[in-house]
Structure 1
Amino acid sequence: MSEEPILAVEGLTIDIPMAQGTLHAVRGIDFELNRGETLCIVGESGSGKSLTSLAVMGLLPKRLECTARKLAFCGTELQGLPPSAMRQLRGNRMAMIFQEPMTSLNPAYTIGDQLAEALLLHRRVGKAEARTRAVELLGKVGITAAESRLSQYPHQLSGGLRQRVMIAMALMCEPELVIADEPTTALDVTIQAQILRLLVDLQREMNMAMILVTHDLGVVARVADKVAVMYAGEVVEQGTAREIFENPSHPYTQGLLRCIPVPGRTKPGEHLGSIPGIVPSLIGKVEGCAFRTRCDLAESACAKPIPIHETEGGHSWRCIHSHMDRMPA
């Protein structure tokens, strides 16, 4: 019998009521994540990546309408779970590293108080034990003089240190699932590489499942086991990282890959690819393939319901074109 997935999502839909109509921000997405795996959700800004993460954590604003056929963590259906039960999971067995650490950390509380809070809420420990755990994790995430940092406030730390504090905070209760929402966006390139290496090392050490939300395919290539490519609220392609990079089957995925240089193949000064046009509005009725206005392979059939192709290995893509008739990447 196969192991039950840590996270199973089927038909997740998020609608946002607006004055002009309903904005269909996330449209019926499916994915699964197993223990120890890293799933990278990749796509342009506005594709629904962060909303998907917030839906899993139960942190969507109340005015948003969220439904799913299944939204289960370790077999527990999260939809309709009482707020008290959700609070027992959130920060304990499932945790999130937010995109901007300066706005995610509370400027009025010390680093030590914010780190200890989760452990004091979810474990029967005293303040001294929580403080010891905080120092241990700050050291594990590469912060020197960890004990002295506990009395500091967020504004006294650099961006890279604040992000490391956020990672330590997420790991205080040794969660089974960690969601990292573009955790390196505001950092310079060198610090980005350090943070990513740190996340991967900690994930392997603790055997956690991790969802990494990003728009950077270079990051995806380095850390992902599975990849879900999102466009205009839909998962248009998903599979293992090897399948996505070696055999991209959706025109949007192919376009994304043409936009990044390939070591050893892209010559200095050579022009990189680009995807023309803009993401269409998702307000009101959305039919057919949302990418068709930007796609070189678009046909009249693209305005109709789009089939999903799937290989035996689980590589799937949403397009009228199959492997046999698609344009090579």
Structure 2
Amino acid sequence: MTIDSNEVVLDVQGLTVDIRTPRGVLHVVRDISLQVKRGETLCIVGESGCGKSITSLSMMGLLPKTATRNSRVFNFLGEDIARADKHRINDLRGNRMAMIFQEPMTALNPAYTIGDQLTEHYRHHKHASAEEARTRAVALLEKVGIASAAERLGQYPHQLSGGLRQRVMIAMALMCGPELLIADEPSTALDVTIQAQILRLLADLQAELGIAMVLITHDLGVVARIANRVAVMYAGQIVEEGLTKDIFASPQHPYTRGLISCIPIPGRTIPGGKLGTIPGVVPSLIGEIKGCAFKDRCASAQERCSGEIPLRKTALGQQWRCILEHEEIAR
């Protein structure tokens, strides 16, 4: 299979998502921009509450009714889906764009068999017969490493382990052969051994099928194993973005440095010793946020952090939002 690694599958520029709440407007995603090319894995990483999951839901058009999405550019394979009607979005979603949700036990319907849930949207999008859909489902269950795949089709979600349910979710996302796969914390609810298996499976399938993948996670260990590029998200904004090797070798934003300092390092982190932490909490996103949202937690904060924050870039394309140049940031 020939993969055009320069083809941009998803191009989002200036994305904002606001949610109306009784306390005011929640600015959960604030002017973010990102691109994902065919065969590439982009990891969006950050603490809980930073807007990662809402970003993924906005890409799929699955935001709650109280949410408003705006953007300068929102293209999928060159098509402006921001202006597409509901029928067109429904045609793309689950077909050419697919999502693996965070918790398979709640994403799968307990009242329907695995087979029914795997084949329903395939028959709808591909106008396939029940036998064709069943054959496709069995083949994909086998591809994701599920033994006795044909027998599994008659089972219900509660009859499967967490790891098997997650594999079913991956197979379901791949049923229609999508060109964009969004995975929201796909290994969070699994034990460490199963996590590694799921991540390896996703990486193998992505490389084999040439899918553009957006992986949402808070685990930098996951990022190091699977990502081509990383977007670090904080308080609804992407504060740093670049190649994975550059982010880990030379993090530029103080928040990125804080996240990396929290990773235990074999041979250097003392067993039973204190792990790194970032003091403070993510600020409220209700109302206006002036300047850098990280300033109250940052060791390098200055008065001018309350003003306009420039976007800085390196010659290799790594970019970050901070008033300080690389050499000025406190380590």
Taking structure 2 as the reference length, the TM-score comes to: 0.97
Offset, 1:270 = 4.1
Rounded to whole Å, the distance in 1 between the matches of 2:273 and 2:250 is 23
Q: Structure 1 residues 2 and 148 mapped into 2: Cα distance closer, same or farther (>3 Å)?
A: closer
Unaligned runs of 5+ in 2: none
AA at the equivalent of 1:69 = R
Partner of 2:132: 129
1:303 aligns with 2:306: yes
Give SS of 2:326's match.
Answer: coil
Q: Give the Å deviation of 1:43.
A: 0.3
Q: Write the mapping of 1:57-72 to structure 2, written as runs, cut at 5 A.
A: 57-72=60-75
Does the alignment pair 1:103 with 2:103? no
- Residue identity in the other structure for 2:269: T
For residue 2 of structure 1, report the CA deviation from its aligned partner: 9.2
Aligned letter for 1:91? G
Distance 2:294 2:287 in 1: 16
Distance 1:157 1:269 in 2: 35
TM-superposed CA distance for 1:18, in Å, is 1.6
- 1:138-192 CA-to-partner distances (Å, cap 9, x unmatched) read 0111111100000111111111111100000000011111000001111111111
Q: Name the structure 2 match of 1:28.
A: 31
* TM-superposition CA deviations, 1:206-245 (whole Å, max 9, x none): 0111010000000000000000000000000000000110
Percentage identity across paired residues of the two chains: 62
Moved more, 259-268 or 142-151: 259-268
The answer to whether the 8 Å contact 2:299/2:330 transfers is: no
- 1:53-80 CA deviation, whole Å, 9 max, x = no partner? 0001011012101100011110111112
Equivalent position amino acid for 2:155 in 1: Q
Matched, 1:214 2:217: yes
Residue 176 of structure 1 corresponds to which residue in structure 2? 179
Mapping for residues 142-181 of structure 1, pairs under 5 Å: 142-181=145-184
Distance in 1 separating the partners of 2:260 and 2:66: 36
1:243 aligned to 2:246?
yes
1:185 aligns with 2:188: yes
The 3-state SS of whatever aligns with 1:6 is strand
Secondary structure of the corresponding residue to residue 324 of structure 2: coil
Question: 2:78 matched to 1:78?
Answer: no
Kept in 1, the 8 Å contact 2:5–2:40? The answer is no
TM-score of the superposition, structure 1-length normalised? 0.97
Contact persistence 1:4–1:75 (CA under 8 A) = no
**Aligned mates of 1:4, 1:211 — CA distance in 2:** 15
| CA deviation map 1:293-320 (0-9, x unaligned) | 0011000000111001011221000001
Amino acid at match of 1:113: D
SS of aligned partner of 1:180: strand
Q: Distance in 2 between matches of 1:131 and 1:2?
A: 32
Structure 1 residue runs without a partner (length 5+): none
Letter in 2 for 1:160: G
Q: Give the AA of the match of 1:289.
A: C
Q: CA shift at 1:272, angstroms?
A: 2.3
- Aligned residues between the structures: 328
Alignment partner of 1:284 out of 262, 287, 291 = 287
Structure-1 separation of matches of 2:126 and 2:272: 56
- More off after superposition, 245-254 vs 304-313: 304-313
Q: Distance in 2 between matches of 1:271 and 1:109?
A: 46
Q: CA RMSD in A?
A: 1.3
The 1:176–1:265 alpha-carbon spacing in structure 2 relative to 1, beyond 3 Å, is same
- Counterpart residue identity of residue 209, structure 1: A
Instruction: Tell me the CA shift for residue 324 of structure 1.
Output: 2.6
Shift of 1:268: 3.5
Q: Give, in whole Å, the separation in 2 of the partners of 1:68 and 1:124.
A: 33
| C-alpha distance 156-277 of structure 1, shift in aligned 2 (>3 A) | same
Q: CA deviation at 1:271?
A: 2.8
